[in-house]
Amino acid sequence: MAKRNIQKCSFCGRPADMSEVLIPSATETGTYICAECADQIHDLLASYRHETSSGVGHKNDKADNGINLKTVPTPKEIKEFLDKYVIGQDSAKRYLSVAVYNHYKRLSQPNEDDIDIEKSNIIMVGPTGTGKTLLAKTIARLLDVPFTIVDATVLTQAGYVGEDIESLLTRLLQVADYDVKRAEKGIVFIDEIDKIARKGDNPSITRDVSGEGVQQGLLKLLEGSIVNVPPQGGRKHPEQHMIPVDTKNILFICGGAFDGIERKIAQRLNTHTVGYSTGNGKKHINRENFLEYVAPQDLKSFGLIPEIIGRLPIVTHLDHLDREALRRVLTEPKNAITRQYEKLFKMDGVTLTFEPEALDKIVDIAVEYKLGARGLRGIVEEIMMDSMFEIPKSKIKKFNVTANYVNEKLSKLRPDMLNKE
């Protein structure tokens, strides 16, 4: 059976159904150029003519890619924006704010000398429910560069069931509307990076295709190289058309829970040393939060290979949320959980209120069972399920959630969550 002739761009390989228009050659049959490549050629010509007309080209605060540093939010402004949606985690916010601001400056750096500002990829370590993904989603609202969140758990080494490492950039291309030049200046948040830790230090006869194999494949993306990306994601195959993407200017932010890394940190700090060898510095260690002492060697002990740690030079942490922080999470952020439910009830013409004692009870349960901020949503969902089912068809216009109501609803599903006298 003869192959169907698929029209595609002769420059980038983009198929006709992924381009605004394919412009045919006037001399060569079957040769086309897509609108996206034509736009890039137009930009290159405009830049070349500008430089040749003025000698070396005029350098100012505005970079060739259209980024004006005067309009870019400063690190303090970025952190203030994050404060509106994420409670606490000041250390992680500061690291993220500086990294994003420096990313803009790196994209705008002049070429007047031989100094090239290198990107500083970040890795965030913190338990589940502390706000790693929320920080990434919130900062995406503020940016005018392509931003995407991808999951490392679906990746496998090339040739095995799963997705190829290059498919991480497919989502970035989709966000940038397949504008390769714009995507090459974007930011990628890789979630669940701890799930690709190698399974053990000892060599094995079997391949670690979803652990160390994925880490090896990520090296070229993090460092910066031209990668052939499948336009639709998934597994690559020989006849598929690829889009070349240069990752040199793409900032990578990684996040993971790293469950159990506290034990690695404690062993390194040697907090259990007894006898005369105990140093005075050990007395100042906060044993309630070992994560604040996380270092690259701890990530290596957990299972990340040294090569990938070297390409993630900035290591920051997210703290466990204490009772006060969880209480603030319920009410203070712009998208607080209680505000979401108030809005849901308001759409049915019902005014919903939460008594302080009810909120305290919800927080007590989250703290006792170590559910984190993400667990608050599940608790409130259980409490409000019956009322959300019954109220829309009733004539109730006001509904007040009390501590007794919280106990009553939770006792049906989780009797152990009742107050213990």
Indicate if the pLDDT at residue 419 is higher than 70: no
- Give the CA distances from residue 374 to residues 168, 366, 367, 378, 409, in Å, rounded to whole numbers and listed in that order: 25, 9, 12, 7, 20
* DSSP code per residue over 278-304: --GGGGG--TT-GGGG--HHHHHHHT-
Instruction: Return the pLDDT at 406.
Output: 92
* % of the chain beyond a pLDDT of 90: 24
Across 296-306, average pLDDT: 90
- Output 238 or 405, whichever has higher pLDDT: 405
Rounded distance between C-alpha atoms, residue 333 and residue 338, angstroms = 10
Q: Which domains does the chain have, with CATH numbers?
A: 1-58 (no CATH), 75-200+207-317 (3.40.50.300), 323-417 (1.10.8.60)
* Mean pLDDT, the chain, whole residue set: 81
Query: What is the model's pTM?
Result: 0.71
Indicate if the pLDDT at residue 204 is higher than 60: no
Indicate if the pLDDT at residue 156 is higher than 60: yes
Across 71-91, average pLDDT: 90
Indicate if the pLDDT at residue 271 is higher than 60: no
Across 214-238, average pLDDT: 79
Instruction: Return the pLDDT at 2.
Output: 45
Rounded distance between C-alpha atoms, residue 373 and residue 371, angstroms = 7
Instruction: Return the pLDDT at 166.
Output: 83
- Output 419 or 181, whichever has higher pLDDT: 181
Instruction: Return the pLDDT at 381.
Output: 92
Instruction: Return the pLDDT at 282.
Output: 52
Indicate if the pLDDT at residue 56 is higher than 50: no
Q: Give per-residue pLDDT as tens, 157-170.
A: 665 656 778 888 98
Q: Give per-residue pLDDT as tens, 15-51.
A: 888 887 888 887 778 888 888 888 888 878 876 665 5
Q: Give per-residue pLDDT as tens, 236-253.
A: 566 667 888 999 889 999
Across 139-145, average pLDDT: 83
By mean pLDDT, which of 10-24, 223-237, 370-384 is the weakest? 223-237
Indicate if the pLDDT at residue 348 is higher than 50: yes
Burial 246-255 (b: 16+ CB within 10 A, else e): ebebbbbbbb
Across 284-307, average pLDDT: 86
Q: Can you say how many angstroms the Cα of residue 185 is from the centroid of all Cα atoms in its chain?
A: 16
For residues 193 and 152, the answer to whether their CB atoms sit within 8 Å is: yes
Instruction: Return the pLDDT at 90.
Output: 92
